[in-house]
Structure 1
Amino acid sequence: MRLKQVVLAGNIIALVLVALLLTMTQAQAKQQGKLKVGYTPGGASILAFVAQDQKLFTKEGVEVELVQFSSTGDGLNALNSGKIDIGISFGTAAPLTFISKGSDFTIIGGALAGGHPVIALPARAGQFKTIRDFKGKTVAVPRLYTADVVWRGALKRAGLDPNKDLKIIELKNPPAVLEAVKSGKVDVGIGASSIFLQAKESGLAIVGWSNDFFPQHPCCRIVAKGKAVNGAPDVYRAFLRALLQAEKIKDTNPKLAQNITKRYMNIDDNLAATFVSEPHQHVSVDPDKHRVKQMWHELKEINYVTSELDINRYINTQLYRDALGELIRRNPKDRYYLNAKKHFEKQNS
């Protein structure tokens, strides 16, 4: 009996040592600048593609592995479990919802504002001109995606009851919304940036944008584990510096950004140009704390979240401030970065 107890104790100690070793290895990897970055293909992923292609991560001392996911939920679950280190295109509403349920997430930057299409069959396109036109319709939404929350907030402000005035079909992800619209099972779909090109290729009509419901609303925030950020802030600052340089390339050399997007997303020239230049998709690394807080309020207004958390504790603007400050130090007369600083002060003070 004692021998079995000794063996059992030895096995437990071995498992604990293995777990500690794994944790130390992961922490050491982050300290050395290795990050697994999760994304879904869409407007928010453009900056990561540019930074990777132009070796900006390497320039800043970060080794980045891009990991693709099919849905926001899958990506955030991977972040929560430590399978990836950063999420760059998993919305704003979903990370905030995870935070409300106890996840150790910190928003450290942005990737996309607005940019989510509302889609319908061409024959039904004329039916949707204002938010009140959704009354009496069957609407497909991707549950917990930012566009879904933004749209529901607009319904509430228009005095429409989502349980009485229309029928909402909740689906797992935007591709499922796309298929529901194409098949005619619903009148209209609340889409996402990730299906914008597929919607156009399918001949669907873009009858509106999420920006119509909440101008310049934050989407795709850059999210990481709070403990990881606190343990290796230099690595995350370097990551943001690389993205900021990619943002400048995207805005000042859109042709290069189009060519990169074409290769990374395996699309043709016309689609790449449409995707990168779409004016409703505003790409920016700025965390935009003010609008994130507005989104938090919106989530509570539509009863998606019931929480008394101080959301300020989960938005880290200092890393972006430092990253931008370092780029300005290197390039003191660069108008792009100086303008970015003005926007930061306006949106995060």
Structure 2
Amino acid sequence: MGLPSKNMSYIPFYVAIKKGFYQNYNLKVNLNYVKGGVLALRGVQTGDFHIISSLPESVITGVAEGANVKLIGTLDDKSMYSIYVSKDIKDPNDLKGKSAASNVPGNGTDIQLQYWLKKHGLEPNKDVRIINSGENAGRLQALQQGQAAVTILSQPTDLKADEMGFKRLAVMRDELKTYNHNMIAANGDLIKNKPEVVYAFMAAEAVAFIKEKANREEVIKIAMEELEMNRADAEKSFDFVLPALPDKGKMNVEGVKWAIDTVKETGALNKELSVEKVVDERFYAK
């Protein structure tokens, strides 16, 4: 499995491995980390990975360009991003004439940041200049060094921004009601030739275990170990992620439609693309 980062949203995978849930279905799952969803998508296309996690926008653009991959579930049915601003910014209007630290154009990170700016009456690259600062760490550094006045961050980098005294101006899930964040995508050949593997992978999900209050301490300890976090940060990240963990990994299809439409609006998608071309919902645990 290819993962584009290390964060609390992947706690179902960590728990499923630690508790032997995959072994119960005769699976051995190896987690491999790559830098970003684009590399993860490339890996699932070349067969280096059977399954990956990615923001939906990367998969949508990939499918439009001929990638043999389908979204089969999600780890979060809400956005995990927050908008952070420099200490002198009081509200979105103060951002006019400033720069925003984003990821590569067309990436889901970039699309959500531009969505937020437009929602607050700011035209990207007109009112606010968009600069490519890469992944979470690079975007936070751009804010820290004064290269940008606003950026978009996910956990656990948001906790570092809090420690540095930057202002969390908005939580995206409060403004973007329909979204899936860290989605699960499978290689099309795997789906076609070995669907039993995909069924087994989804059946071994650990969300029910994680949501059981009696298991909280054990889950926090697994998170601390896997993510190398102290207890306080692990608990904060876990409590932020927990409400967004969908039962059985079930995706919000309206959120996929939103992502397709929004990718199209940015110009990164110049053809019609149906939800059915991107999504396969057969594999949720019974």
Q: Same fold (TM over 0.5)?
A: yes
SS at match of 2:12: helix
**1:167-316 superposed matches below 5 A:** 167-193=129-155, 195-243=157-205, 246-252=206-212, 253-278=215-240, 282-284=244-246, 285-316=249-280
2:66 to 102, 105, 110: 102
- Supply the distance in 1 between the matched residues of 2:115 and 2:158 (Cα, whole angstroms): 22
Secondary structure of the structure 2 residue equivalent to 1:63: coil
Give me the whole-angstrom Cα distance separating, in 2, the residues matched to 1:157 and 1:118: 13
- CA 1:156–1:206 in 2, change beyond 3 Å: closer, same or farther? closer
One-letter amino acid of the counterpart of residue 141, structure 1: S
Greater CA drift, 234-243 or 210-219: 210-219
Letter of the 1:60 partner, please give it: Y
Say which SS state the counterpart of residue 119 (structure 1) adopts: strand
Helix, strand or coil: the match of 2:132? strand
Deviation digits for residues 155-208 of structure 1 (CA, Å, limit 9, x no counterpart): 345553213111111233222101111112111111233523333344433222
Evaluate the alpha carbon distance shift between residue 281 and residue 169 of structure 1 in structure 2; reply closer, same or farther with a 3 A threshold.
Answer: farther
SS at match of 2:283: helix
Structure 2 SS opposite 1:56: coil
Report the TM-score, using the length of structure 1 for normalisation.
0.74
Give the CA deviation at 1:134: 3.8
Aligned equivalent of 1:135: 96
Specify which structure has the higher proportion of helix: 1
State the alpha-carbon separation in 1 of the partners of residues 188 and 66 from structure 2: 12
Separation (CA, whole Å) in 1 of partners of 2:98 and 2:243: 27
- Contact 2:8–2:223, Cα closer than 8 Å, also in 1: no
Helix, strand or coil at the partner of 2:170: strand
Greater displacement, 143-152 / 256-265: 143-152
Distance 1:49 1:295, change over 3 A: same
Comparing 69-78 and 214-223, the one that deviates more: 69-78
2:131 match: secondary structure:
strand
Task: Give the match's secondary structure for 1:238.
Answer: helix
Question: CA offsets, 1:271-293, max 9 Å, x none?
Answer: 11111111686122112222111
TM-aligned CA deviation for residue 85 of structure 1? 1.1
Seq. identity, %: 21
Partner letter of residue 106 of structure 1? K
Q: Is the 8 A contact 1:140 1:186 kept in 2?
A: yes
Distance in 2 (CA, whole Å) between partners of 1:281 and 1:195 is: 19
Does the 8 Å contact 2:10/2:75 carry over to 1? yes
**Residue 43 of structure 1 contacts residue 283 of structure 1 at CA under 8 Å; is this kept in 2?**
no
SS at match of 1:271: helix
Check whether the contact 1:209–1:280 (CA below 8 A) recurs between aligned residues: no
Larger Cα-atom Rg? 1
Name the CA shift for 1:49/1:120 in 2 (closer, same or farther; >3 Å): same
Asked which structure has the greater RCO (Cα within 8 Å, sep 6+), the reply is: 2
Q: Which stretch shifts more, 302-311 or 191-200? A: 191-200
Check conservation: 2:15, 2:222, Cα contact below 8 A: yes
CA RMSD of aligned residues (A): 2.1
Work out the CA distance in 2 between the residues paired with 1:250 and 1:145. 30
Q: Contact 2:2–2:34 at 8 Å: present in 1 too? A: no
| Aligned-partner SS, 1:186 | coil
Shift of 1:234: 0.9
> Distance between the aligned counterparts of 2:49 and 2:198, measured in 1?
13
State how 1:125-164 maps to structure 2 within 5 Å: 126-128=89-91, 130=92, 134-143=95-104, 144-164=106-126
Query: Does the CA contact (< 8 Å) of 1:141 and 1:191 recur in 2?
Result: no
SS in 2 for 1:249: helix
Q: Deviations along 1:226-252, whole A, 9 cap, x unmatched?
A: 121111111111111112xx1112211
Separation (CA, whole Å) in 2 of partners of 1:304 and 1:111? 24
